[in-house]
Amino acid sequence: MKKSLLIFVLVGILFIEACGPTGIKAGQESVDSEAGNENTPTTATTNTPTPTATHTPSPVLTNTPIPVPDFGGDYVYEDFTYEADKVLRKVRIKRYRASQKEIVIPDTIDGMNVVGINAFTFEGNQDIEKVILPESLVEIGNYAFQGCRGLRSIVIPKNVTSIGTNAFANCDGLIEIDIKGELTSFNTGILQGCDSLKKYNGPDWVRKNNSDVEKCVIPEGITQIGRRAFNNCEKLTDVTIPNSVTSIEDYAFYNCLNLKKIIIPESVTYIAKDSFENCRNLQDVEIKGNLTTFVAGIFEDCKNLSAYKGPEWVTQYNSDVKECIIPEGVNCIGDRAFEECRKLEKIIIPDSVTSIGKWAFFWAENLKDIVIPNEVTCIGQHAFGSCKALKEITIPEGVTVLREYTFSSCDNLSVIKLPKTIKAIERGVFFGCSKLENIEIPDNVIEINDDAFLE
C-alpha cells in the first residue's frame, strides 16, 4: 500500500520515521567530478549541514548495488573537503584547506574508502613538501598537484591505475617519484615541467609524452584514453591506439588542431561526449567496433570531417539535435549525453538501454516527453536537471535509488510515478520542482534525505 503525502509532511515526518537519527545530512565543480570534470556547472551548497566523521549511513545505501560510482556533495573531514558515493562507500578528495608541509591522506573517511583525488585539489599549493597517499587510492585527477613547487618526493601506491593530465606539471622541485603499480589510463603531461626530477620509477611513456607530442603510440595494456589526455596538443599529427583500449574519455583530443586522421579499434565501446571537439582539421575517422554507450556531439565542431566510417548515429547527432532515436543495441545513455542540448524535444530509447548516466539530459530545457524503458535500473545524479519543459515521468521498476538532484529545477514537473523498488531518495532530487505538490511514496522507501524537496 502506498502513502499519499504532501511534500512538506513527507519531509518533516517520513524522513524522521524512516531514517531516524542516521538520516544523511546534506548540503558541486563539474562533470570533474570526476576524476574531475572541469566543465560541469556547479550547484550551490549554502545552508548545507556538514556530516560528522562518526556518521553511519543507513543500510539501504550500503546494500544497494550501482554499476558505477556516482559522487556528489561537499563534506568536510579535518582539512579536507570531499565528495562521497554513499552507495558504493567511496570517497574522492576535492580540496585541501590547510598549509602543512607534510600531508597524510587517510585510507578511509567515515568508513568509506578514499579512492580518488579530484582535479585541481592541491594545485598551486606552495607549502606542501611531502604527501603520503593511501593504499586505497586508485585515481589522481587532472592538474591535482600542478604547480606544487615545494613538493620533493612522492610514492604512488600500487592500486593507482590513472594519473591525470598535468597531474604533477610544473612541480619543479620534485626530485623523486615512484609509481608502484600499473597505469591503465593514458594521459599526457603528467610530469611536464618537472625539470629537477632525478629518480624516476614507472612506465616510460609517462615521461615521454607531454603537450608538445607530435606522434604517439599508446602502449598495449592501456584500457582507457583519459579525460583531456591530449588536451591542446596542437602539434599532434598521429596517434596509434592499441586493441586493449575500451574507452575514450571526455575532451580526450580536444583542440588537437593538426590531427587529420584517426583509427579507433574494435575494442573501443565508449567514446565520450566532446572527445574530439574542435579538431578542426580532422578529415578521416574510422571506428571499427560497435559503441554500446550513446552520447551526442563526439565530433562537435569537426567541420572538415569528410571521410567517416563507423556507426551512423555518431555523426548524426550533435548539440543542436531536436529529435533523437537511439539505436537498438545501445545499453547505456552516457554521462552528459545530451547535456545542454537545448533544442532537444523528443527522444526514443530502445529496450536495450539499462542505465542513464549522470548529467545525461541536464539543461535539455525543451525536452517535453520521455519514456524510460523498463530495463533501466540506474539513473545518475543530475540526469534530468533543468529539463524545464518536462511535465510527467515514470521511473521503471528496478531503480532502487534516486540520486542527487536527478530532477532539480524541473520547473513544470507535476507528476512523477515511483516504482515499488525505490528505497532511497537522495539530496536535492526534487530541488526547485515548484509544481510538484503531491507524490506517492512506496512502502519500500526507508530513507529520504532531508533536503530532497528543497525549493
| For residue 390, pLDDT beyond 60 | yes
Q: pLDDT tens digit string along 60-107?
A: 333 333 334 566 678 999 999 999 988 889 999 999 999 999 999 999
Average pLDDT over residues 165-192: 98
Rounded to the nearest angstrom, the gap between the alpha carbon of residue 128 and the centroid of all alpha carbons in its chain is 28
What is residue 156's DSSP assignment?
E
What is the pLDDT, as a whole number, of residue 88? 87
CB 384 within 8 A of CB 390: yes
What is the pLDDT, as a whole number, of residue 11? 38
Q: What is the dihedral of CA 4, 6, 9, 10, to 10 degrees?
A: 60
Q: How far apart are CA 284 and CA 92, in angstroms?
A: 38
CB 370 within 8 A of CB 391: no
The residue assigned the cell 571521410 is 307
Average pLDDT over residues 224-241: 97
What is the pLDDT, as a whole number, of residue 26? 30
What is the pLDDT, as a whole number, of residue 264? 98
The residue assigned the cell 530513507 is 447
| For residue 168, pLDDT beyond 80 | yes
Q: 95: helix, coil or strand? A: strand
Which of 65-79, 195-209, 219-233, 313-327 shows the lowest mean pLDDT across its residues?
A: 65-79
Within 13 A of 373's CA, how many CA atoms are on the CB side? 18
Terminal CA-to-CA distance of the chain, rounded, Å?
A: 28
| For residue 446, pLDDT beyond 50 | yes
pLDDT over 90 percentage in the chain:
82
What is the pLDDT, as a whole number, of residue 72? 66
| For residue 163, pLDDT beyond 50 | yes
Quick one: pLDDT band at residue 22, thresholds 50, 70, 90? very low
Q: How far apart are CA 123 and CA 109, in angstroms?
A: 22
Rg of the chain (C-alpha set): 22
Q: How far apart are CA 222 and CA 225, in angstroms?
A: 8
What is the pLDDT, as a whole number, of residue 207? 95
As beta bridge partners, residue 393 has: 416
125 Cβ contact partners less than 8 Å away, ≥ 6 residues apart: 96, 99, 145, 147, 148, 150
Amino acid occupying residue 345:
E
What is residue 314's DSSP assignment?
H
Total residues belonging to the chain = 455
Average pLDDT over residues 138-167: 98
Average pLDDT over residues 369-389: 97
| Burial bucket for residue 353 (CB in 10 Å: 0-12, 13-18, 19+) | buried
Average pLDDT over residues 393-401: 97
| For residue 38, pLDDT beyond 60 | no
For each of the domains in the chain, give its residue range(s) and CATH number, in order of start: 1-24+322-455 (3.80.10.10), 31-209 (3.80.10.10), 211-318 (3.80.10.10)
Task: State phi, psi for 412 to the nearest 5 degrees.
Answer: -105, 5
| For residue 35, pLDDT beyond 80 | no
Q: pLDDT tens digit string along 110-130?
A: 999 999 999 999 999 999 999
Pairing of strands 438-441, 261-264: unpaired
| Burial bucket for residue 152 (CB in 10 Å: 0-12, 13-18, 19+) | middle
Q: How far apart are CA 274 and CA 272, in angstroms?
A: 6
pLDDT over 70 percentage in the chain:
84
CB 410 within 8 A of CB 388: yes
Q: pLDDT tens digit string along 304-363?
A: 999 999 999 999 999 999 999 999 999 999 999 999 999 999 999 999 999 999 999 999
What is the pLDDT, as a whole number, of residue 86? 81
Chain mean pLDDT for the chain: 87
What SS3 string covers 17-34?
Answer: HHHHHHCCCCCCCCCCCC
| For residue 33, pLDDT beyond 90 | no
CB 2 within 8 A of CB 442: yes
What is the pLDDT, as a whole number, of residue 74? 86
